[in-house]
């Protein structure tokens, strides 16, 4: 992992942050071949997720639609940013659904880059993807992790929620004090909360809402709890909390390694606040074991620490 700190000053990655390489007998290489063969993107690769070996080895992946170039440049995110060269691919939803069917997924997670260059910010593409998945895999649940749909929030939500995803996810990412610094002037902490609550209000079916927080950016533990409290006040059902990893020297420096005991404390605080599911741990990401997150919320299993 690159860092802007001199080698001698870089914080050593603790034992609890180390992950295993993919094993030769796992499904990892089959998943990689299938996804690349259909010209699809995953946030697993684009964001350099540390869990890629485990998740692909289990035969799961989180699909990234709307291309590989994001019109935002969040300080913690490794996804390529810039001006996209092409419009959304109208055949991508069908290709994605076909691959999800070949993978025999029971729970499909779809996220995307921000597309501020597209009039509906990609909402119609999300809806087309949800419909394609439900047609191809009628027994599977569908989870979407959306951008903020800048300036067309209400119209975009009507389109996306109208396609009836089972889980609507929008990550708040960090605490109020750090939000503008880490996400940029276009993003809004309060708008993120509104988006999550509005998605639940306009749905004519019991959609689960979900959000994620990354820690190690300079926040305090009390601020993390305040953020969870804000999410619960806006009817969010599921929250994930995981450790920030600095992807390159150009990104925000890691402030600290959060100890597993602190993640357990976050879990306990979230449980006390009444979340249906709290997944809290150093390697937890928003879509990490997303099927288990949904199951925990629906069955009352509740909080989990990894």
**Beta 41-42 vs 141-145: how paired, if at all?**
unpaired
CA gap 253, 5 in Å, rounded: 8
Segments forming the whole domain that contains residue 174: 7-305
Residue 66 located in a structural domain: yes
For residue 64, the domain's CATH number is 3.20.20.70
At residue 4, the pLDDT reads 45
Q: Are the C-beta atoms of residues 167 and 68 closer than 8 Å to each other?
A: no
Residue 2 located in a structural domain: no
At residue 7, the pLDDT reads 41
Residue 1 located in a structural domain: no
At residue 3, the pLDDT reads 41
DSSP state of 81: B
**Could you tell me the pTM of the whole model?**
0.93
- pLDDT tens digits, 114-159: 999 999 999 999 999 999 999 999 999 999 999 999 999 999 999 9
Q: How far apart are the first and last CA of the chain?
A: 22
Residue 103 located in a structural domain: yes
Per the listing, tokens 């439900």 go with: 134
* Other beta carbons less than 10 A from residue 31's beta carbon: 24
**Mean residue pLDDT across the chain:** 92
Residue 53 located in a structural domain: yes
Main-chain dihedrals φ then ψ at residue 31, nearest 5 degrees? -65, -45
At residue 200, the pLDDT reads 97
At residue 12, the pLDDT reads 78
DSSP letters, 27-63, are SHHHHHHHHHHTT-EEHHHHTT-TTHHHHHHTT--EE
- The residues of the chain scoring below 70 in pLDDT are 1-11, 25, 301-306
Q: Are the C-beta atoms of residues 120 and 151 closer than 8 Å to each other?
A: no
CA gap 211, 72 in Å, rounded: 19
CA gap 87, 65 in Å, rounded: 12
Residue 245 located in a structural domain: yes
At residue 17, the pLDDT reads 87
Which residues, other chains included, contact 62 with Cβ-Cβ below 8 Å and sequence gap of 6+? 42, 43, 44, 55, 109, 110, 111, 145, 287, 290
3-state secondary structure (DSSP) of residue 13: coil
* Other beta carbons less than 10 A from residue 12's beta carbon: 7
Number of domain units in the chain: 1
- For residue 69, give both structure tokens: 């170039």
Q: Are the C-beta atoms of residues 71 and 81 closer than 8 Å to each other?
A: yes
Determine whether 20 is exposed, middle or buried from the number of CB atoms within 10 Å of its CB (0-12, 13-18, 19+). exposed
């Amino acid at each position: 992992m690159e860092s802007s700190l001199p080698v001698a000053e870089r914080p050593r990655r603790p034992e609890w942050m180390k992950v295993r390489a993919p094993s030769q007998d796992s499904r990892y290489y089959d998943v990689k071949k299938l996804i690349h063969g259909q010209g699809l993107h995953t946030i697993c690769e684009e964001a350099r997720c540390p869990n890629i070996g485990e998740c692909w080895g289990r035969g799961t992946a989180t699909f990234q639609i709307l291309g590989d170039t994001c019109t935002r440049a969040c300080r913690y995110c490794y996804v390529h940013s810039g001006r996209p060269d092409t419009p959304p691919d109208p055949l991508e939803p069908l290709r994605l659904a076909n691959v999800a069917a070949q993978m025999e997924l029971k729970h499909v997670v779809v996220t995307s880059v921000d597309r501020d260059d597209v009039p509906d910010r990609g909402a119609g593409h999300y809806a087309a993807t949800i419909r394609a998945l439900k047609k191809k895999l009628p027994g599977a649940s569908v989870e979407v992790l959306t951008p903020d749909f800048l300036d067309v929030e209400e119209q975009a939500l009507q389109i996306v929620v109208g396609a009836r995803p089972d889980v609507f996810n929008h990550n708040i990412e960090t605490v109020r004090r750090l939000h503008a610094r880490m996400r940029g002037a276009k993003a809004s902490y309060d708008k993120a909360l509104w988006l999550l609550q509005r998605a639940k209000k306009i749905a004519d079916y019991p959609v689960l809402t979900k959000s994620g927080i990354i820690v190690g950016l300079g926040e305090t533990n009390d601020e993390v709890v305040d953020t969870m409290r804000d999410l619960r006040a806006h009817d969010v059902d599921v929250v994930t909390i995981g450790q920030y990893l600095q992807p390159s020297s150009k990104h925000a420096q890691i402030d600290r390694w959060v100890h597993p005991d602190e993640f357990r404390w976050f879990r306990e605080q979230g449980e006390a606040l009444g979340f249906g599911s709290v997944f809290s741990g150093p390697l937890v990401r928003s879509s990490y074991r997303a099927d288990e997150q949904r199951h925990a919320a629906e069955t009352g299993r509740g909080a989990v620490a990894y």
